[in-house]
Amino acid sequence: FSNAIHRHLEDTNGLLRACAPWQEASNFPAAALETFRSVQEIGAALLKELELLDSIDLDDLKPGWGDRQTVRMSRKSAIAFAQLVMDRLDGLQALLKEPAARIKRQRDEAAAKAGVEQQE
């Protein structure tokens, strides 16, 4: 779990760095659509990891994990950390939602226009 969360955190921070100049300039390039999709993919993967963590049955503890209370506290801390990553992803998704929709709409319109021109 920790390796997966660390990877998701690194990916999220990379996306935040990529979006910062766009946000400052209020100018979102075409890459914002792909970035928006990446945010959604990372969010979905993070939710799967959280579901796996949350499904640990404390009655099936292995001795190497520690006692029940230690595992509960560790799980609680890991979930809280993952929630911080998720909050960052939610912020990115909110930031990119409108520009991504606009870019997608522009691409769709251009593709439709190109299709009409080819038919003529």
> Which pLDDT tens digit goes with each residue over 54-98?
887 777 767 677 787 888 888 889 899 999 999 999 999 999 999
pLDDT at 119 over 70: yes
Measure the N-to-C terminal CA separation of the chain; round to a whole number of Å: 56
pLDDT at 112 over 80: yes
Report the distance separating Cα 94 and Cα 28, nearest Å: 13
Q: What is the dihedral of CA 78, 84, 90, 93, to 10 degrees?
A: -100
Q: What is the pLDDT confidence band of residue 40, given thresholds at 50, 70 and 90?
A: very high
Going from the C-alpha of 48 to that of each of 22, 23, 66, the distances in angstroms are: 30, 29, 24
pLDDT score for 120: 65
pLDDT at 102 over 90: yes
